[in-house]
Amino acid sequence: MISIRIFKTREDAEWAKKALEEGGILTTISEDEFNNVPIQKFGVQARFRLKVTDNKDLNRAAQFLARKLKEAKESNA
């Protein structure tokens, strides 16, 4: 597994995960922790890592997600 992007909110990471899975790319989300404690408990901003399950999908996932994020940004403008 390889991280493809880091998000500040779980909601944003879940949106990206759903978009990628609609494109046939399997992903997981992990929250950054220190000794099994979420890092925001230590005053550090939360981070949620979107990881591609199959490393062979990395380039396709990066391009697909970039396109989806661009479309979402343009529709909100």
pLDDT tens string 44-60: 898 999 999 888 888 89
34: CATH: 3.30.70
Residue 42 structure tokens: 């230590």
Q: What is the pLDDT of residue 67?
A: 87
Tally of domains in the chain: 1
Query: What per-residue confidence (pLDDT) applies to 55?
Result: 86
Domain containing 44 equals: 2-68
pTM of the predicted structure, to 2 decimals = 0.79
For residue 75, being part of any structural domain is answered with no
**Among the listed residues 63, 27, 69, 65, the one whose alpha carbon sits nearest the alpha carbon of residue 48:** 27
DSSP 71: H
**Does 55 map to a domain?**
yes
Q: Give the pLDDT band of residue 40 (cuts 50, 70, 90).
A: confident
The single-letter DSSP state of residue 5 is E
71 vs 77 pLDDT, higher one: 71
The full DSSP string for 6-70 is EESSHHHHHHHHHHHHHTT--EEEEE-EETTEEGGGGTPPP-EEEEESSGGGHHHHHHHHHHHHH
